[in-house]
A and B are shown apart, each in its own frame.
Chain A
Amino acid sequence: MRAANRNTVTGLLKRRRAWILAIVAACVAAAELITVLTPPSYAASALMAIDQRATSPSADLNATMTTGQLLAAHDIKMAATPTVLNRVCADAGDPCDADALKDRVAVATVKGTDLLSVTVTDASPARAAQLANLLAEKLVEQVRFEVANALKPTKAYLDGELASLRKDMADKAAPVNLLQSQYTAVYTRREAVAEQEARLDGGLSLVQGAAAPAVPAAPDPKRDLLAGLAIGLVVALLVALIVDRIDTRIYDADRLSEATAAELVVAC
């Protein structure tokens, strides 16, 4: 007699093996087709370091880490802005569109480190490396420009104060000792601002330039095959379940017994 296996997974797999095999084969074939038809693209990455103590060297560890995360998020966002990408395209030479480039740029922190990975994909490995290096360079320039812009009013004010004090000292408009102490105080602040600017300028630096990759990042035949297989198995099982649900044909003696209510049911 045949064992009743209508409600078991093994029974389902046996009954629907043709469906399952066909769907898995179709998905694997589709994955292979995609692999064959997809033009190769190369990914080149430049590594940049974020100085987490740039904004406040005396801060504690938690504050430093928070600052680092904020700086990383800022730099990641900045890398995809039209300002930076347009500058990259301006220097890239060959036809380069900032909008198209945006989709091929990936900037992310390297997990567990204070490093930032700037990746650009392109059909040419050399071009990918060139664009990644240009992007890293323009990102550093942009950060420096922002720092200079942020400190410009303070520097202008302090420089004006120093000039005014120098003029007063030359005209002897006040007691020399008083003017000299005021000048020293303002000068010290001006020096502090200059030091802050220098520190912030070094907040983001290039650690390792991008090199032309030897192997394409996509397509990845092994990964595509595994993905096709996994998707195929999931889809096949779902289809098998659905087909089994709507299929009312008899597959085992139990089902025949239910249908006919015969006293004796045998499978031959």
Chain B
Amino acid sequence: MLGARRHRGSRADASYAVVWANLRKRYPDLRTLLVAGASRRDDPTAAALALSEAIVRFDNATVLVMVLDSAMQDRREPESASPSVTVIGALSPDQVRIALSNQRDTVDVSIVVAPAPQTAVDCIAVAGAADAAILVATAGRTPSAEATLAAELLRQTGLPPAAAVLLGAPARRSPQPAPARPRPSAAQGQAIAELRRA
């Protein structure tokens, strides 16, 4: 059981690395990535964090993950174990846009986590600032029609989904204990504080 879980974890890591490698090849100037749910039942935050860690491992880059307030389903502050990943939660689309412009020089890749475009306009509102989009679906949970609608809405926004990620079956997505949150650097902390004030 434990072996299977470990195998599953390493397979997921490889899958996220594949996604990043593919995106980097197709979008050489990719700086901002939108990770959105495919339906109201999907939580894209876990996929965004896993992808950010894949980016760090793959490119040794600094990554800023911004989670829209409307995308925080369980209202828990998301965290990352990697010191190169900064996570900011509960932001509005305006705050995301400001952060993107402010952090352009300090982070290599920004990931914006948004809910499904059909569930909140926030996703559409930040889509214009992203270079590529990823839809996150959950096996056995995401209705096919919802995923189609989400992809179509992104396409109409001018940001067709570059990739889609299917997370494992709901039963296997048992909540894992959150890893110890790395202390943000002084510069990062100041940036976050300014962003919150904005």
Interface residues of A (CB under 8 A from B): 1-2, 15, 248-253, 255-268
Main secondary structure of the interface of A (DSSP, over half): mixed
Interface residues of B (CB under 8 A from A): 11-12, 15-16, 18-19, 22-23, 26, 38, 47, 50, 135, 137-145, 147-148, 150-151, 160-168
- B26 to chain A: which residues have CB within 8 Å? 263
- A257 to chain B: which residues have CB within 8 Å? 164
Residue of A nearest to B51 (CB): A268
A-B contact pairs, 26 of them (CB 8 A): A2-B166, A15-B140, A248-B145, A250-B137, A250-B139, A251-B140, A256-B38, A256-B166, A258-B144, A259-B144, A259-B145, A259-B147, A259-B148, A259-B151, A260-B150, A260-B161, A261-B151, A262-B135, A262-B162, A262-B163, A264-B18, A264-B163, A266-B165, A267-B165, A267-B166, A267-B168
Partner among A15, A250, A268 whose Cβ is within 8 Å of the Cβ of B12: A268
- A260 to chain B: which residues have CB within 8 Å? 38, 135, 137, 147-148, 150-151, 161, 164
Partner among B143, B160, B162, B163 whose Cβ is within 8 Å of the Cβ of A250: B143
Contacting pair B142 A264 (CB below 8 A): no
Contacting pair A250 B144 (CB below 8 A): yes
- B11 to chain A: which residues have CB within 8 Å? 268
Residue of A nearest to B148 (CB): A259
Listed residue (A2, A249, A257) with the most chain B CB atoms within 10 angstroms of its CB: A249
User: In the complex the two chains form, what is the Cα distance from A264 to B15 in whole Å?
Assistant: 11
Besides A253-B166, A256-B164, A260-B151, 14 new A-B residue pairs in contact (Cβ under 8 A), listed by A number: A2-B166, A250-B139, A250-B147, A250-B166, A258-B144, A259-B145, A262-B162, A263-B26, A264-B23, A265-B166, A266-B19, A268-B11, A268-B47, A268-B50
- B151 to chain A: which residues have CB within 8 Å? 259-262
User: How many pairs of A and B residues are in contact by the CB < 8 Å rule?
Assistant: 99
CB distance from A212 to the nearest CB of B (A): 56
Contacting pair B142 A263 (CB below 8 A): no
User: In the complex the two chains form, what is the Cα distance from A258 to B135 in whole Å?
Assistant: 13
Contacting pair A249 B163 (CB below 8 A): no
Residue of B nearest to A258 (CB): B144
User: In the complex the two chains form, what is the Cα distance from A267 to B136 in whole Å?
Assistant: 10
User: In the complex the two chains form, what is the Cα distance from A261 to B135 in whole Å?
Assistant: 11
Contacting pair B145 A264 (CB below 8 A): no
CB distance from B10 to the nearest CB of A (A): 11
Contacting pair B144 A266 (CB below 8 A): no
Contacting pair B19 A267 (CB below 8 A): no
CB distance from B45 to the nearest CB of A (A): 14
CB distance from A221 to the nearest CB of B (A): 34
- A253 to chain B: which residues have CB within 8 Å? 166
Partner among B12, B139, B143, B162 whose Cβ is within 8 Å of the Cβ of A263: B162
- B138 to chain A: which residues have CB within 8 Å? 250
User: Knowing A250-B137, A260-B148 touch, does A267 contact B15 (C-beta < 8 A)?
Assistant: yes
